Amino acid sequence: MDSQPSFVSFNADRVRSPIVLSVPHAGRAYPPDCTTLTRVGLDRLIRLEDRYADQLAERCNVAGYHLIIAQVPRLWIDLNRAETDVDAQMIDPPLRAPSSVSHKVRSGLGLVPRRLSGVGDIWRARLSRDDLVTRILTAHRPYHAAVAAALALARNRYGGALLIDIHSMPPLMTGPPADIVIGDRFGRSADTRMAEVARVICEAAGFRVALNTPYPGGYLIERHGRPADNIHALQLEVDRRLYLDESLTEPASGLEIIQELILSVTVALAAEIQSSNYAEAAE
């Protein structure tokens, strides 16, 4: 990944809105040696991607909102995991196992994914410590630094800021049916009014919405959402069937509808952040 940046940032030249949008799992810039390092072909490993989720924010990009999109693929490093969320046994020499291991690591989806359901183990060999550190320094930390800096600039300009972290999800097979899941870490990463505004917009457009179940939000909104400082963070999960074809690999006719929905949610949340209540809270 040394030949190109691990992410791209749009509309960062000046602060035009309190909203920052992030797309951490849509990266498709696979290193050439992926084919020799992995046990199975990339045609199967693209299941790790939030396939073309970057395109969901395209109308926000055109409208001038600050947008940060990963280019590094989730296969290489997961930007929505903490640096410590590592499967110790997949590193050579093995790291000291932490006192507690997250469910994501146990299931093989830590900082560097180890296995994938229906595929099995991904890598032919363990990852060296030096390689792990390189991935963190060249991809993970720069991405989070860019998000933090963008939110700080927005808050300084508008008195408050909001991160919208965009993801796509496979069709939900259990629990209440939902087309879109809005996560705010059960109110810990954002004022609950933010999720409510997003929910109203999505339901008014005819979509079924769930709050925090089964996706309450990951590391990105946990790290960057600080409601007490008037920096809020929401995660939006969109069912891939809404904008991809039947094979869930290429954009389809529903893409424009979801692009318009994401823009509508962004506009409404920008207005909410700039409302008198939040302006007063920031003074």
* Per-residue confidence (pLDDT) for residue 239, from 0 to 100: 98
pTM of the model as a whole:
0.94
- Chunk the chain into consecutive blocks of 10 residues (it has 283) and report each block's average pLDDT, rounded to whole numbers: 79 92 97 89 92 98 97 97 92 76 86 92 94 96 98 95 97 89 98 97 98 96 97 98 96 97 98 77 50
Domain segments of the chain as ranges: 7-86+140-282
Domain 7-86+140-282 matching CATH 3.40.630.40: the answer reads: yes
Q: How far apart are CA 269 and CA 234, in angstroms?
A: 10
* Per-residue confidence (pLDDT) for residue 98, from 0 to 100: 65
Q: In the numeric block, which tokens belong to residue 168? A: 């796509």
Q: Cβ of 30: how many Cβ atoms within 10 Å?
A: 17
Give the residue among 263, 10, 273, 21 at the shortest CA–CA distance from 157. Answer: 273
Q: What angle do CA 81, 25, 161 make, to 5 degrees?
A: 75
Q: How far apart are CA 252 and CA 246, in angstroms?
A: 9
